[in-house]
Structure 1
Amino acid sequence: MPWWLVATVVGGVLVASGALPGGDARDLLERTGPVLLLLLALTVVAELCAAAGLFEAAAAATSRLARGRRWVLWLLVVALATASTAVLSLDTTAVLVTPVVVALARRTGSDPLRFALVVVALANTASLVLPVSNLTNLLADRALRATGADYLALMWAPALAAVVVTVLLLAVRDRGALRGRYDATPARPAPDAPLLAVAALVTTLMAVAFVVGVEPAVAAGVAALVLAVATVARRRPWPAPLPDLVPWRTLLVVAGLFVAVETLRVHGGADVAAAVAGDGHGFGDLLRLAAAAALTSNAVNNLPAYLALEPAAAGDPLRLAALLIGTGAGAVLTPWGSLATLLWWQRCRALLLHVPAGVIVRQGLLLAAPVVVVPVAALVLTTA
């Protein structure tokens, strides 16, 4: 039975039966509805940009910049994924950067799976940098402001530690694949140069809108609409049948997951989570909370994990920071640990890049503990 059908049936039964009360269901929709709309719009943007040749053009430019040196190419991918995640959010990185990197790897004769895995790793572990980098950051930023704490002053060291640890571990793992040089193949001409220019401009303006604080779902929705109109105006074919442009299966799975976790929270799950998370401000106490957040995120997804464990932070800045480390950097162990990983997985399938779930889990086993322990230590050292 397809996962989307299971999720739809389970979610519908939980709401219809009253297991999830109506008021809680409405609150859940208000919190997560914009996330699902963002997922929908970003996927449409990615498909239309790919059809316009934007990702192929970006890959060609990056391969020229590295001048045949594969390790430089890898570092450029690291910089691109980190900057995109920090400024545009982890979900944007998963949707927009993944096609660029896969095209880049294929153009240069590099291993596309190794390069794509760098993107999904940094989409998660670099998501602590700014409030806009992750939806959970935005939720925590409101709570931090209420206490008088500043997000950047609190999180700069854990964010830096998470990125550095990720890059070092992946560099050691992939050192064999980064040796040697490459000869880039000539860039293919864009199928429609004016449409390519529109796609580049729209994507840039969408990024600016994210940075200046426009609601991400609104900015991405407008971008998708403009690109759709431009595609019709230029009389270009759609990259896929219209129903397949929208990732409705992924939307249904994620929505069903949110409903199931919220139902558990309402019926005592929050109390259990708070008991597991403990209390206190010492290194061991904060690590316990971050570890509980990471484990919960990898079990059910990091957004519902944050919502379930936020009361355990009790509005305390240090505990909120530890919670973010666990739900942000620590959600790398399973394909459903974060929405960004699900989006990345869906993009890889669309790009005909097969990624078994076991590959994601093995990378998660390499990263999960270090990207939680080291950032928590950095948090304690810089706030002592």
Structure 2
Amino acid sequence: MTVLAVALLAAVLVVAVTRPRALPEASAAVPAAAVVLLTGLLGVQQAWDEVRELGPTVGFLAAVLVLAHLADAEGVFRWAGGLLAHHSQHRPRRLFVLVVVAALLTTTVLSLDATVVLLTPVVLDTARRLGARPAPHAFACAHLANSGSLLLPVANLTNLLALQASGLTFLGFAGLMLLPQLAVLVVEYAGLRLTFRRDLAVPADPRGPDEEAPVPRVALAVLGATLLGFAVVSPLGVEPVWVAVAGAAVLAVRTLVTRRTRVRDVVGAASPLFCLFVLALGVVVAAVTQQGLGDLVAGLLPAGTSFAALLGLAVIGAVLANVVNNLPATLVLLAALGPAPAVGAVLAVLIGVNVGPNLTPVGSLATLLWRRVLAARGVPAPLGTFTVAGLATVPACLLAGTGALAVVLSW
């Protein structure tokens, strides 16, 4: 039975990574979940409990994806591209710094998917207009989408799972992860700057005028109010999904009335098939965990919250993320930590599964999406370059992030 459970998970991940014939991720995950139930790998009640537990998290994901789509329709990313072009002063190194900041802010507020799908094309277009080499700026988007998602629970689906497991409030989570995020950011910048130093040294050759876009004041105000809402309602026990839904609803009314988007586009932005994939994947991972993987992983996890233990948890999280992708890795590791894990252990695992995917192109679904965005625009992302950039940043980021977390936990 264990072999069957592992085979089902492998099949789901292969389809999710390769997407043969552009099949959606759910095309393998839903049948695999059905097999799990039919073969008794997981009981119906256990599967329902897993779906119910993941429900608010998946609902939040859908709401944030809609919010990001509406922000794009309102011109937030066009405006951001204009700012990048204007303030870069046609200097590649300055543009690189601005892209790092923009990617961090986008990931923090609108999630890593927004950085990959919405910001990356804008960054590529900006680099093209300035005549700068695209690789440094494209890789900054990819890396900051993953490693820049540590600060707020809304930045990554893995964060929402960790928030639920830790029992922290929104502000409590942010307070503990602020220093680790800053430490990782410094290392990411230095590592990427070193990796792409030759590209950044090539002078820009502007190929068109800078494009100015009006400031999307309403959209920025709604995004700011939504972010504030997360912090306000968290201590009251209100699920963040309701705040995200409220923000998306407010912005949707304006965007639909002004015909900047259509209802079917809003529904599509929620990615219902991807949400279904996450729920089905949760059922499959629960079956694998119950069939022995959970006990195996639990036996490997170091105990305590010393720096060595935290680093060990982060490294295991990073390795597992690159083997089975970061979302199932998070589900497996949080289950292995038990029903009442130490907060420090949960956050160390989170550092691993968020930073680790920058080492290989298959470590996270966001990275896979990023590669598709680059391919659609004819921008190469060679495996060798990805590996070099990963080796230059991931090990040092894990060390810096867990070190900062150990310092915060000791206060």
Partner of 2:297: 273
Q: Is the 8 A contact 1:109 1:182 kept in 2?
A: yes
Deviations 1:133-183 (A, max 9, x none): 444444444555579x95455434322221111110000011122222453
Q: Is the 8 A contact 1:63 1:73 kept in 2?
A: yes
Deviations 1:284-339 (A, max 9, x none): 33222211111122223334323322343753243233222212222323444334
- 1:185 and 2:208 are equivalent in the alignment: yes
One of 332, 353, 364 as aligned partner of 1:327: 353
Partner of 2:126: 104
- 1:208 and 2:234 are equivalent in the alignment: no
Q: Kindly tell me: are residues 177 and 293 of structure 1, through their superposed partners in 2, closer, same or farther at Cα, counting changes over 3 Å?
A: same
**1:32-71 aligned within 5 A:** 32-43=54-65, 50=72, 53-71=75-93
Inter-partner Cα distance in structure 2 for 1:12 and 1:48: 34
Q: What SS does the aligned partner of 1:80 have?
A: helix
Q: What SS does the aligned partner of 1:372 have?
A: helix
Partner of 2:394: 368
CA RMSD between the two structures: 3.9
- 1:93 and 2:119 are equivalent in the alignment: no
Partner of 1:122: 144
Runs of 5+ consecutive residues of structure 1 not aligned to the other structure: none
Q: Kindly tell me: are residues 330 and 58 of structure 1, through their superposed partners in 2, closer, same or farther at Cα, counting changes over 3 Å?
A: same
Q: Amino acid of the residue matched to residue 146 of structure 2?
A: N
Q: Amino acid of the residue matched to residue 312 of structure 1?
A: L
Worse-matched range after superposition: 295-304 or 172-181: 295-304
Cα displacement (A) at 1:272: 1.0
- 1:25 and 2:25 are equivalent in the alignment: no
Q: Is the 8 A contact 1:42 1:95 kept in 2?
A: no
- 1:318 and 2:341 are equivalent in the alignment: no
Q: Is the 8 A contact 1:261 1:300 kept in 2?
A: no
Inter-partner Cα distance in structure 2 for 1:130 and 1:54: 20
Q: How many residues align?
A: 377
Q: Kindly tell me: are residues 167 and 13 of structure 1, through their superposed partners in 2, closer, same or farther at Cα, counting changes over 3 Å?
A: same
Q: Kindly tell me: are residues 16 and 231 of structure 1, through their superposed partners in 2, closer, same or farther at Cα, counting changes over 3 Å?
A: farther
Q: Amino acid of the residue matched to residue 101 of structure 2?
A: A
Cα displacement (A) at 1:47: 5.3
Inter-partner Cα distance in structure 2 for 1:354 and 1:377: 35
Cα displacement (A) at 1:52: 5.8
Q: Kindly tell me: are residues 226 and 86 of structure 1, through their superposed partners in 2, closer, same or farther at Cα, counting changes over 3 Å?
A: closer
One of 82, 86, 96 as aligned partner of 2:104: 82
Q: Is the 8 A contact 1:88 1:207 kept in 2?
A: no
Q: Is the 8 A contact 1:203 1:223 kept in 2?
A: no
Cα displacement (A) at 1:381: 4.9
Deviations 1:209-230 (A, max 9, x none): 1342176655555666666665
Q: Kindly tell me: are residues 55 and 281 of structure 1, through their superposed partners in 2, closer, same or farther at Cα, counting changes over 3 Å?
A: closer
Q: Is the 8 A contact 2:57 2:160 kept in 1?
A: no
Inter-partner Cα distance in structure 1 for 2:313 and 2:106: 28
Q: Is the 8 A contact 2:229 2:243 kept in 1?
A: no
Inter-partner Cα distance in structure 2 for 1:38 and 1:142: 13
Inter-partner Cα distance in structure 2 for 1:209 and 1:245: 18
Runs of 5+ consecutive residues of structure 2 not aligned to the other structure: 1-19, 234-238
Q: Kindly tell me: are residues 266 and 360 of structure 1, through their superposed partners in 2, closer, same or farther at Cα, counting changes over 3 Å?
A: farther
Q: Kindly tell me: are residues 334 and 130 of structure 1, through their superposed partners in 2, closer, same or farther at Cα, counting changes over 3 Å?
A: same
TM-score by length of 2: 0.75
Q: Kindly tell me: are residues 95 and 14 of structure 1, through their superposed partners in 2, closer, same or farther at Cα, counting changes over 3 Å?
A: same
**1:149-298 aligned within 5 A:** 151=173, 154-179=176-201, 180-183=203-206, 185-187=208-210, 197=216, 201-202=218-219, 204-213=221-230, 217-218=241-242, 233-234=257-258, 247=271, 250-251=274-275, 253-298=277-322
Deviations 1:181-210 (A, max 9, x none): 4537335587xx8xx95xx62354134313
Inter-partner Cα distance in structure 2 for 1:379 and 1:22: 39
Q: Kindly tell me: are residues 371 and 60 of structure 1, through their superposed partners in 2, closer, same or farther at Cα, counting changes over 3 Å?
A: same
Q: Kindly tell me: are residues 335 and 225 of structure 1, through their superposed partners in 2, closer, same or farther at Cα, counting changes over 3 Å?
A: farther
Q: What SS does the aligned partner of 1:273 have?
A: helix
Q: Is the 8 A contact 2:68 2:110 kept in 1?
A: no
Inter-partner Cα distance in structure 2 for 1:368 and 1:158: 14
Cα displacement (A) at 1:379: 3.3
Worse-matched range after superposition: 22-31 or 178-187: 178-187
Cα displacement (A) at 1:75: 0.7
Cα displacement (A) at 1:256: 4.4
Q: Amino acid of the residue matched to residue 330 of structure 2?
A: Y
Q: What SS does the aligned partner of 1:331 have?
A: helix
Q: Amino acid of the residue matched to residue 351 of structure 2?
A: I
Inter-partner Cα distance in structure 2 for 1:108 and 1:143: 45
Q: Is the 8 A contact 1:325 1:372 kept in 2?
A: yes
